[in-house]
Amino acid sequence: MTAEPVIDQQHPPAALPATVRASLSPSRAADFKTCPLLYRFRSIDRLPERPSVEQARGTLVHAVLERLFDLPAGGRTPQAAGDLVGPQWDRLVTEQPELAGLFDPGDEPGTAEFLRSAAALLEGYFAVEDPRRLEPAERESLISAVVDDELLIRGYLDRLDVAPDGALRVVDYKTGGAPREAFEARALFQLKFYALVLWRTRGVVPRVLRLLYLKDAEVCDYSPDADELLRFERTVVALWQAIEQATARQDFRPRPSRLCDWCNHQAHCPAFGGTPPPFPERAGAADPLRDARSRPATPGADE
Ligand code: SF4
């Protein structure tokens, strides 16, 4: 499968069309849609977020599923996936030392239970898919497109499958233990975001957007059409314009919802009696292409 990205993925700043003046990832767009203040805390204030055990488990399971497809098809067994859990966790902790802080030094039972819980999610994966029968076209692939001449949209796909007839299937692994209804709209928004990028770069509307809920061992398929993606594109552009306006006015309001239970920033949120930090002085002049010059959140890091 040959991708036809509109920019050079290795050197995005140099290769960006001159008209592009901002970039947006599905995670950050979904933040603003969910709660403008959450967007501010994450994208403007850049408040630190301590990874939760659940997020770490998601990152680990995504890593195992990515590596699983490195194996020859016949070797992609539940046992092989289980065998990848420990080594992948060691690799992640080496690359992201903050993950080590999730467990007290010497808390081997805690770590072992965590690894077992990741393995249990992988069992959920094998209940809904047989990876021996699949040959993904892409895994953890950075895709991007320019919409409305000015906005670069980009993000990482968990997996892209391409059928012999060229049909595309975008697959997203969901590992969170949160109630699905609390996050499904956000998950679908992200998948449509990827579908829009693929449509704009390859001229093909993905036939299926698939959410794989590993905890529940369930599959949720959605089939978009071009009209819908056209409307979605307008929504994304309007969302970006709303972000620009909010930034110019320094006005990001909290929008409380069930998702607040998973928000790292209640202590700073007026909806919970907190006070936001002073608006960063240079936020209005912040580099709107900053995200295009750095690696966006990887799949699994946002669950
Ligand atoms: S606690 Fe809720 S309302 Fe406040 S910033 Fe987080 S998501 Fe928004």
- Give 252 Cα–ligand 1 centroid separation in angstroms: 11
Q: What local confidence, expressed as pLDDT, does residue 142 receive?
A: 93
Tens digits of per-residue pLDDT, 37-79? Answer: 999 999 999 999 888 899 999 999 999 999 999 999 999 999 9
Give the number of the atom of ligand 1 that is nearest the alpha carbon of residue 274: 4
Q: What local confidence, expressed as pLDDT, does residue 18 receive?
A: 84
- Give 67 Cα–ligand 1 centroid separation in angstroms: 35
Nearest alpha carbon, ligand 1 atom 7: 260
In this prediction, residue 13 has a pLDDT band, given cuts at 50, 70 and 90, of very low
Residue range 261-275: mean pLDDT, rounded:
96
Q: Which residue among 265, 268, 275, 302 is best mutated to probe the pocket of ligand 1, counting the most ligand atoms within 8 A of its Cβ?
A: 265
Q: Which residue among 263, 264, 268 is best mutated to probe the pocket of ligand 1, counting the most ligand atoms within 8 A of its Cβ?
A: 263
Q: What local confidence, expressed as pLDDT, does residue 288 receive?
A: 53
Ligand 1 contact via 36 beta carbon (within 6 Å): no
What residue segments make up the domains of the chain, in order of their start? 22-46+136-239, 53-133
Tens digits of per-residue pLDDT, 279-299? Answer: 997 654 445 555 554 544 543
Ligand 1 contact via 155 beta carbon (within 6 Å): no
- Give 273 Cα–ligand 1 centroid separation in angstroms: 11
Q: What local confidence, expressed as pLDDT, does residue 291 receive?
A: 55
Q: What local confidence, expressed as pLDDT, does residue 6 receive?
A: 35
Tens digits of per-residue pLDDT, 146-197? Answer: 999 999 999 999 999 999 999 999 999 999 765 667 678 888 999 999 999 9
- Give 283 Cα–ligand 1 centroid separation in angstroms: 20
Nearest alpha carbon, ligand 1 atom 4: 269
Tens digits of per-residue pLDDT, 25-39? Answer: 999 999 999 999 999
Residue reference for tokens 């007839």: 165
Residue with the bigger pLDDT between 186 and 4: it is 186
Residue with the bigger pLDDT between 128 and 51: it is 128
Least confident segment among 59-63, 100-104, 237-241:
100-104
Question: Is the pLDDT reported for residue 265 higher than 80?
Answer: yes
Question: Is the pLDDT reported for residue 86 higher than 90?
Answer: yes
Give the number of the atom of ligand 1 that is nearest the alpha carbon of residue 260: 2
Ligand 1 contact via 263 beta carbon (within 6 Å): yes
Ligand 1 contact via 30 beta carbon (within 6 Å): no
Q: Which residue among 269, 272, 275, 302 is best mutated to probe the pocket of ligand 1, counting the most ligand atoms within 8 A of its Cβ?
A: 269
In this prediction, residue 107 has a pLDDT band, given cuts at 50, 70 and 90, of confident
Contacts of 81 (CB under 8 A, 6+ apart): 64, 65, 68, 119, 122, 125, 126
Q: How far apart are alpha carbons 123 and 237 in whole angstroms? A: 39
Q: What local confidence, expressed as pLDDT, does residue 9 receive?
A: 42
Nearest alpha carbon, ligand 1 atom 5: 38
- Give 50 Cα–ligand 1 centroid separation in angstroms: 16
Q: Which residue among 33, 45, 49, 259 is best mutated to probe the pocket of ligand 1, counting the most ligand atoms within 8 A of its Cβ?
A: 259
Q: What local confidence, expressed as pLDDT, does residue 69 receive?
A: 97
Q: What is the DSSP string of the chain?
A: -----SS-TTSHHHHS-TT--EEE-HHHHHHHHH-HHHHIIIIIS----PPPHHHHHHHHHHHHHHHHTTS-GGG--HHHHHHHHHHHHHHHHHH-GGGGGGS-TT-HHHHHHHHHHHHHHHHHHHHH--GGG---SEEEEEEEEEETTTEEEEEEEEEEEE-TT--EEEEEEE---S-HHHHHHHHHHHHHHHHHHHHHHHS---SEEEEEETTTTEEEEE---HHHHHHHHHHHHHHHHHHHHHHHHT-------GGGGG-TTGGG-GGGT--PPPPPTTGGG--TTGGGGSPPPPTTTT-
Ligand 1 contact via 170 beta carbon (within 6 Å): no
- Give 265 Cα–ligand 1 centroid separation in angstroms: 7
Tens digits of per-residue pLDDT, 196-215? Answer: 999 999 999 999 999 999 99
